[in-house]
Every structure is written in structure tokens, then in C-alpha cells.
Structure 1
Amino acid sequence: MASAKPWLEHYPKEVSPTYDYPKMNVASMLLASARRYPKHPALYFLGKSIDYDRTAREAARFANVLRSLGIRHGDRIAIMLPNCPQVVAATFGTLMVGAVVVMTNPLYKERELEHQLADSGARLIVTLDLLHRRVLSVKAKTRLERIIVTSIKDYLPFPKNLLYPLKMKRDGTDLTVAYNDEVLSWTKLLHAASPSPEIAPVDADNDLALLQYTGGTTGIAKGVMLSHSNLIANTVQNVHWAYKCEEGKERFLAALPIFHVFGLTVIMLQAVYRAAEMLLLPKFETKPVLELIARKRPTLFPGAPTMYVALINHPDIASYDLSSIRACISGSAPLPHEVQEQFEKVTGGRLIEGYGLTEASPVTHANNIWEKRKPGIGIPFPDTDAKVVDLETGEEAPVGELGELIVRGPQVMLGYWNRPDETEKVLRDGWLLTGDMARMDEDGFFEIVDRKKDLIIAGGFNIYPREVEEVLFEHPAVKECAAAGIPDKYRGETVKAFIVLKEGASVTAEELEKHCRERLAAFKVPRHYEFRQSLPKTMVGKVLRRKLFEEEQKGE
């Protein structure tokens, strides 16, 4: 009889199938690293280096600011910041009080912002001078009492801190802030606050650390309730998976946004747990990233496939030394095999695909970094169970058969904020229904085929967009692609391919169709091709197929 968990046979000997996860406030991780490595660099931001001692003191100051403003255990604090030192201080400071972090995308428009702030009941928000007017415009429709405003220049080195406002003014950006009793200055508040740390005790299994909103691309965004235990468990799982990495010696390239749960856990929390340095990037730009890698020598680079695609296609990549990168875990979208091979060739490091979702803090699966790996998302993390179930019966599907992936483990959420009906749909007896179609092979390695919702049904045939995309990606002219279902009078739906070509490359729709016909069953071959300059994506590089579908419906 096959093993119930065949993947355990493929764990490295250094990785245990199970671990003890400390029951503590997540903020304790920062203070522990600051005690062990006070002068070790924690953050590097556009030329400025900040050590662990100062990082911990900034977080403690912010916690004491919150206390002075009447913030208490369980209150929600929104953080609307790009990757910068303030996002680290605000997150850990909020947790020190026992309050709940509500990560908020800085790109949100008023409608999205209003929904999230009102739904979460956040009492206070930290944001940039660049963004505070957007918050002010929706404040009356939320429970916000105060807005704490900071600026990118607040943590820039001299003379960049003086030049930044001049540049923004020249670009026509207004950074002026009218401070009052409700709009407060980050720098003034922190300067006046005590740096003495005090960590609120928490019930780690039941007290929320994070409300992370998800689902906005397919419907109304829901707040995922993640406890202190959820985040600590996933951090510890990630740390042990990359077992060759050493405490106090690693440098993380923080290109993924920390306001996304992938960046928050896999970069910020893991880096702090390891007493690693974070190289913070407010936004991903190919040339500056290449320059930063060559200059600051990061060892770990969690990212999204689009980031790796952009780097390997940069015309000057050969002139940069990328050999410091030892390991990368790719998530948020499928990792094409060609991208994996090329990136490993230019860095000499390892790039593996993992899998997760906001509801699981987020990582549940990853390929081995240094041992046996296969195409796909790899094997479940320690203490994580997974199986593929038949969509109709709910019974476990035979090995190799397609079904819905369901998972359970210490990283799985408590539920959706104020949405018991939605929670009931996806949490069943401790199992999280992912909504992703997958299969498991005889070794326990998993492969995601596609989202249930992205399934294209053409003339009665089921077509999974990822399968079409993998074939398109094999064409040497294709840089990025997406396949989506569009309405078809005869077939109900049919496949349309959206293509971004490599610089200088050219190919016709007829040539791509021939390429696909040689590699796909006839019913899967795209009937329409559209060449574009770019594809709509989330901040972590996931292509928004729903947006493509909506554009088609509008005739854009």
C-alpha cells in the first residue's frame, strides 16, 4: 500500500517532518535578533544601513506611540507603505501592542481603500505624504481616527534626504501635509516616544496578528485572519526548508512588496527570524535590481516569475555579477522551466517553485532547493498535509488524477473576517479548499494545473490555461503570455492567447498557431492571438486573467 505521505521520503535528511512552533507574539522575533546581533545590519534602504538595535528601537517607539494614542489589544492598524524602513517598524510596533496589522496596498484607489478600511474597522493608518490625501478623501466613511504620515526621505541618507523633496517638486508632486489633531507626523511622534520595548502577551493560537485582504480580482476582497501562531509556523517552516542558510549571515533581496503576505512572511519575517539583512526596494525595476545585486551581494531572492523573466531578458545581464544568489523561491504564478534554467545559469544559484495562498500564511509546498525536484510546486512543508480530491465526490483522487488541492497545517488561517459563510465554504474539518486544480504523482510531488475558476470549457472540453501557456512559453520569441477563455457562439468559450514578445523578436499569429498545433490537442490550440506591450498583473506578478476577460467583454 502506498504511503499516506509519500513526499516524506524525499525530505532532505536535514529537514524534519515536524517541528515545535513557539507560542509567542510575532514581535518577539525582532527583539530576539536585536539581542543576539545588535550591530548587525537589518535594513538597507537606498544607500542607508540600519542595524538590528535601531530597528528594534524604532518598532518599540512606534508601539509606545500607539499606546499613547489609546490603541489596545485587538485594535486594527492599517499600514499603507511600500518597502521602506517604516513598514518594518510599523508592523512590529503594532504587534508589540497586541494590535492587528492590516496591510494595505499603496496602489489602492479610493473605492478599494474605503472598502478595506471600513471592513477591517481600522482605527489608525500609517501612510506616505504622497498618499495621505487619498486616505483623507475616504476617512469620513471609515472608523479611522488618525492618519500618521511619513515620507520616503525620512530614512534616506544625506544628501538624498534633501534632494528627494526637490526632485518630487520638480516632477509636480505635492508632498505638503496639513498636520492637525488627526493627521500626525511619524518623525515627531517617534522622536518623542520611549524606545523601551514592551511586548503584549497574546494567545498565539487565537489572537490575530494580521488581516490580509484577498480575492479582490474575483469579487469583494475578504480579510484573511492570520494568528501569531500561523505566521510563526510558516516562518519556521520556511527557515528549515532553506537549511543551508546561516543565522546572521544572509542578505535578502526584498523586491516583493511586504504589504503582500508572500513578501511579509518569506522575506520580512524570515529575515528577522534569521537576523538577516533586508535590501529594501520600494519598487521593482530591472536595471537598479541588477546593480543592487552586483553591489550588495544578496544571497536569497524570493520573487515572482515576472521578476526573473525581466532580469534574464535584460540586454546587459552578462555584465553584472549575480553569483552571490544561492537560493530563490518563486511563487504567485507558475514558473516556466525555461526561466528556471536560464536564471540558474546566470546566477549559479538555485531557483525553485513553491506554492501558497494568503489563507495559508502563505506557503504550503515547495520543491527541494538542493535535492530532488520536479516540474511543479514540489512537496508539502513540514507538518503540512495535502491531498487531491474529486470535485464531485470529495473523495481523495487516485495518484496522477486531477482534482482540487486541499491542505491543512499550522499555517492555515482562522477564517475570513466577519464572513462566517465564506469561511464555511473553504474550511472543512481543518482542511483548506484551495480552489486550485492539481495532481500528485507517486513520489508525492504536486503540480498545479490551474484555478478552478480559470478553467475554459470549449465545446464540452476542459482546457487549463496553464497548459497552453507552457507551450507558448517554449517559443523563443515569447517573453510573457497568458491564455484566457473568451465567449464563442459555437463552442461557448474558446482560447485566446495574449503575447508579449522579447525585445527585437518577431513572430506572427500563424507561426504561433503552428507551434501550438504541433504540441497541443486541436481543441486546446488558441483560436485568437493578441500581441501586447504588457499584461495586467498584481503587485507580485500574477497575471490578472479576469482583467483580460473583462477587457474582452468591453471590447477594449
Structure 2
Amino acid sequence: MTEVKPWLKNYPKEIPPTLEYSSEPVQHYLTNAANKYPDKVALHFLGKELTYQQLYEAAQYFAGYLQANLGIEKGDRVAIMLPNCPQNVISFFGVLFAGGIVVETNPLYTERELEHQLKDSGAKAIITLDILYPKVSKVMPHTELKDIIVTGIKDFLPFPKNLVYPYIQKKQYGIVVKVKHEGHIHLLTEILKQKKNKWKQYSIDIDEDIALLQYTGGTTGVAKGVMLTHKNIIANTTMNQAWVFKAKEAQEVILGLLPFFHVYGLTTVMILSIKLAAKLVLLPKFDVLETLKTIEKQRPTIFPGAPTIYIGLLNHPDLKKFDLSSINACVSGSAPLPQEVQEKFEAITGGKLVEGYGLSEASPVTHSNFLWGVERVKGSIGVPYPDTDSKIVSIETGEELRAGEIGEIVIKGPQVMKGYWNRPLETEEVLKDGWLFTGDLGYMDENGYFYIVDRKKDMIIASGYNIYPREIEEVLYEHPDVIEAVAVGIPDPYRGETVKAYIVLKEGSTVTEEEMNEFARKYLAAYKAPKLYEFRKELPKTAVGKILRRKLVDEEMKKYEDESKKQA
């Protein structure tokens, strides 16, 4: 086995190479936790706490309402457009109890982005925040949405924060939205007050039935729904638990900072926390000072994150005033983890911070460095998870390459998606004989450790978010004065990468950078909109007229290297 999978010889004795997986659907994690630990705190949210019994009952009430009042049946899609808050967890498990498929939706989406995702998924209902209701109601006529369920951050805040929050919200966002529980609008607070509706428990085939549609841009920039079955999510959650083998059931505190609308946060934070019957400490957004205060007060033991988060904490001027020693395990994903950041964070916390790798199409984690028992390998994304196979293949021939040779990373395992929602051709492009072709270029060393060297995709990763240049370019091309546009990722010491747009304007145009920025932000979420613009008379192209994106990237890399040398 170790000859076929050389990484297995590195496994510590505590991690088995193959695992046993539950035959029950994902929502049974909550049922099991509530049965075993009904009075244990499940969620902590800015001072408010819910026990496992309370969380379970809320999810049950919600499921009953979805079926009885909204007509949700098995396989219907229900979107969740919320930050990390108790309502998100209640909604996720409630939709699954009702037999539905969860569509996690980014609250930062513009109307354009939201409309595409809702239309593509065919979602019948959506759960969203009060301040997002105007946006959702505008796109509703263009989708199959029939019902909007509204909640507010204040709904799950303790007294007196719940009374003060509306004033803070008005000051921060400039609006206070008030809606009534009538017609196609439903208030979550009213739903949870009602007596439990009788709800039908559907039979779930965990190998075939979809639990989650996770949208990802892929290589084209067109958002595609990744179909993750109950088995996919169960497998990856079980793998994650095996990796943090020192974690003990009902004794851990997990910091829920990674957004649940990203599958990395959903699997490694929310679902793993429920499976472990841990206390999940929720933060709706990343604020450095608030995060430091929360760590000191709530004493999390497990803290999955992204490099930007750890960098932000390390650079806070008052870092030394806070006690972060409760942290035992951190797995960083979404972007490369700088060695310096890893070492500094471990020195301050006394815990372990390692880099992992994954993608939405794999639920998402496939590789990771070991937290305990094995020496760290610098620059590596680690080794494949249990029951996960991986190899490097030639991008020209598809043949498997030898150790040290660079090619495309491909993956096989029970966490690999069923396919893309309603996109059989795109599915065939990336799923071949059970292997998932990641589009990432790398190599494997003789000991079975994997390394990323480049991305076959043009994807930009900024602050852990996946950003697809084509999506940005399509928006820029809609500007009446733009002739040509290309978006690239350039190095950024904080975000990892940031978006820069190169633009050729019509002759005589006086459009400024500020005007382009204002235009782009109307149609793109803030994290996708270019942070830098450069206007040129022409862009480098091939003989057949294709813009040489790589040349622009190389130019930026040269500038960055020259600047770094000056500073050194």
C-alpha cells in the first residue's frame, strides 16, 4: 500500500489510512449530539448561548414550517444568505431535516451575482438578513423564489445588546428594514414561536442524494453548483476529525470565523463542531480586536482559518495583551500559508498551525500537513487524507508523472463531488474515471508530500476568497467607454493577492480610476472588485489576438521583486 501511496508511511499511528463512515445523513450529527448532550452549549454568539437541545428543537421547528407552510419537499433547493450566526446553523440543519438541498449564498453578493445563483439552482425559498431583504426582493421576480424568510442579527443577541443593535445597524449601514410576517415573507422569530409542525421524514440515500449545492466559479468564471452528497460531506467531516485526533468529544471549543457560505468553513468548522458536540463560538465577521477578545474570553481549542486571518491577528499592536494559549490546532486553507506567519503564530499560542489544501469539488479538504507526531515539511500542502488518492499527471498526455515532475494534481476519494448541477459537459471535463482534475499544477516528492507551484486556472485568491478574472472582465466590458479589459492577481502582503485591472479606453474618453471603481462595485462584491486600475493604449496579445494575461502578471511580479529588493 505504501508503494502505491507513499505518504502512508508518514502517517502517525493515531491516524488510520482508512476510516469508517456513518450511514446516516448529515443532519443526524445534530440528532446524535442533542441525544447525548442535550444541556451542553452548542452555540455561543456575542454573549447568547444555545444548548444542543435548543438548537435541535429550533431546526426541527424550522423543518416542519418549511414543509407545512412553504411546501418544501425532498430535493427542493433552499438558499441560506447569512453570516455566521445561530440562524445559519438552524437553517442549515432545518433544510436537511425537511429533505431539502442547501444552497449557501454569500451575503456580499450583488443583485447580479445573487440572481444568477438563485436562477441556476432553482431555489424555492431563501433565508436572509433584514438588511439584505431589499436586494433579495428586487431579484425575486427573475427567479423561482416563492418565499423569503427574514431574520436579523438582533434576533439572537442577549439583552440589552438586542435593543441597542438596531441603532448600531442604522449608523453602520444607514438603513433599518422592517418587514411583516405575511404573504411570501416569513419572520424566523415567528416561525420558531409556533408549535412544532408535523414534518415528514424522507428516506435519504447518502451516496446519491445531494445535501449541498456549493457554488464555485471554476475556470470559466461562470458560477457552477458543486453537487455534494451527504456521503461527500460525511466523508470529509470524518477525515477532518481523524486529522485532529487529539480532539475529544464534547470537550472542544471551536472558533467559527471562517464563513459558512464557503464550504471550507461549513465542513471544517460548523459540521465538524456538531459532530464533535463541541461549543461553536460564532463571529459574523472578521474584526481583529473582537477576535482577540473572543479568543481570550471563550478559550477556543480549534481555530480553522485562512492566512489573512492569522496575519491580521499577528499584526495587531495590542496582540501581546491577549492570552491565546487555549489554541491547540489550526489548519489554514484557501491560500498559501507563509512560513513566517506559521512560526510566529505557533510561538504565541503554543498550538500547531499547518497548511492544508482542498477545493469546493472535494467538500473541500484533500491534503494537509500533520498537526502532531510528524515533523513539518516546509512549503508543502501536506499529504492526502485517509481514503484519498492523489497523483500528478501530465497536462499534455494525462499520464502519471514521477516524483519531482510538475503536472496537474488529480484526486480520488469519497469526498469528491457528484458533479456540477445541470452541467454534464463541465462535469466530464473535470471528473474522469473517478479522478477529479483540480486545475492546479504541482509535484509530489519521494515521501508523498505534495507542493503547489502554479495554477492552471487564472483564479485569483485574495484574503482566502476565490476570484475569477473572467467574471470581473465581463463587468468591465459593460462600461460604454471600455474597449479591452483584463483582470489579474498581483502580490499583496496582506491579502495574498489583490485584483488589478488593465483597461484600454475609447479614444477621447476621460473616465477616471475612481469612476471605473464605482462602476465595478455596482455589479461585483467588494472583495472581487479591482483595487488597482491601469489605463493603457494597448494590451499585449498573441498573434491571434488573445490577451497575454501571463505577461502582465510577470510584469507585476518583476515590479514586486524589485520593490522588495529596495526595501531589503
TM-score after normalising by structure 1: 0.84
Aligned length: 491
Unaligned runs of 5+ residues in structure 1 are: 457-471, 500-506, 517-556
| Aligned mates of 2:10, 2:420 — CA distance in 1 | 34
Distance 1:105 1:355, change over 3 A: same
| Aligned mates of 1:154, 1:399 — CA distance in 2 | 55
Deviations 1:255-289 (A, max 9, x none): 10011100000000100000001110000010100
- Tell me how far 1:453 sits from its aligned partner: 2.4
Partner of 1:452: 456
Question: Which residue among 483, 489, 493 is the counterpart of 2:551?
Answer: 493
State whether structure 2 residue 425 is matched by structure 1 residue 373. no
What amino acid does structure 2 have at the position aligned with 1:305? P
What amino acid does structure 1 have at the position aligned with 2:51? D
TM-score after normalising by structure 2: 0.82
| Aligned mates of 1:100, 1:133 — CA distance in 2 | 24
Partner of 1:78: 79
State whether structure 2 residue 438 is matched by structure 1 residue 434. yes
Structural mapping, 1:73-152, within 5 Å: 73-152=74-153
Structural mapping, 1:407-418, within 5 Å: 407-418=411-422
Partner of 1:504: none
Checking the alignment, whether the CA contact within 8 Å between 1:484 and 1:497 is kept in structure 2 is: no
- Tell me how far 1:488 sits from its aligned partner: 4.7
| Aligned mates of 1:179, 1:312 — CA distance in 2 | 45
What amino acid does structure 2 have at the position aligned with 1:340? Q
- Tell me how far 1:482 sits from its aligned partner: 3.5
- Tell me how far 1:166 sits from its aligned partner: 2.6
State whether structure 2 residue 55 is matched by structure 1 residue 3. no
- Tell me how far 1:29 sits from its aligned partner: 0.5
What amino acid does structure 2 have at the position aligned with 1:300? I
Partner of 2:564: 512
| Aligned mates of 1:170, 1:446 — CA distance in 2 | 48
What's the C-alpha RMSD, in Å, of the aligned pairs?
2.5
Partner of 2:486: none
Question: Which residue among 269, 286, 289 is the counterpart of 1:287?
Answer: 289
Checking the alignment, whether the CA contact within 8 Å between 1:110 and 1:134 is kept in structure 2 is: yes
Identity among equivalent pairs (%): 53
Partner of 1:467: none
- Tell me how far 1:454 sits from its aligned partner: 3.8
| Aligned mates of 2:451, 2:560 — CA distance in 1 | 31
- Tell me how far 1:195 sits from its aligned partner: 7.7
Question: Which residue among 237, 241, 244 is the counterpart of 1:242?
Answer: 244
Q: Does 366-375 or 286-295 show the bigger shift? A: 366-375
Partner of 1:33: 33
Three-state SS of the structure 2 residue aligned to 1:187 is helix
Distance 1:287 1:484, change over 3 A: closer
Three-state SS of the structure 2 residue aligned to 1:130 is helix
| Aligned mates of 1:263, 1:481 — CA distance in 2 | 19
Question: Which residue among 297, 305, 308 is the counterpart of 1:306?
Answer: 308
Partner of 1:46: 46
- Tell me how far 1:373 sits from its aligned partner: 2.4
Deviations 1:60-104 (A, max 9, x none): 111011111211100000000000000000000110121100001
| Aligned mates of 1:166, 1:515 — CA distance in 2 | 45
| Aligned mates of 2:406, 2:253 — CA distance in 1 | 39
Partner of 2:178: 176
Question: Which residue among 397, 402, 405 is the counterpart of 1:398?
Answer: 402
Partner of 2:476: none
| Aligned mates of 1:292, 1:16 — CA distance in 2 | 34
Deviations 1:496-544 (A, max 9, x none): 4489xxxxxxx9985524689xxxxxxxxxxxxxxxxxxxxxxxxxxxx
| Aligned mates of 1:198, 1:161 — CA distance in 2 | 34
Distance 1:168 1:224, change over 3 A: same
Deviations 1:205-225 (A, max 9, x none): 000000010017851100000
What amino acid does structure 2 have at the position aligned with 1:372? E
- Tell me how far 1:2 sits from its aligned partner: 7.9
| Aligned mates of 1:496, 1:24 — CA distance in 2 | 53
Deviations 1:101-146 (A, max 9, x none): 0001001111111110011000111111110111100111111110
Partner of 2:429: 425
Distance 1:176 1:246, change over 3 A: same
Three-state SS of the structure 2 residue aligned to 1:493 is helix
Three-state SS of the structure 1 residue aligned to 2:67 is helix
| Aligned mates of 1:179, 1:195 — CA distance in 2 | 17
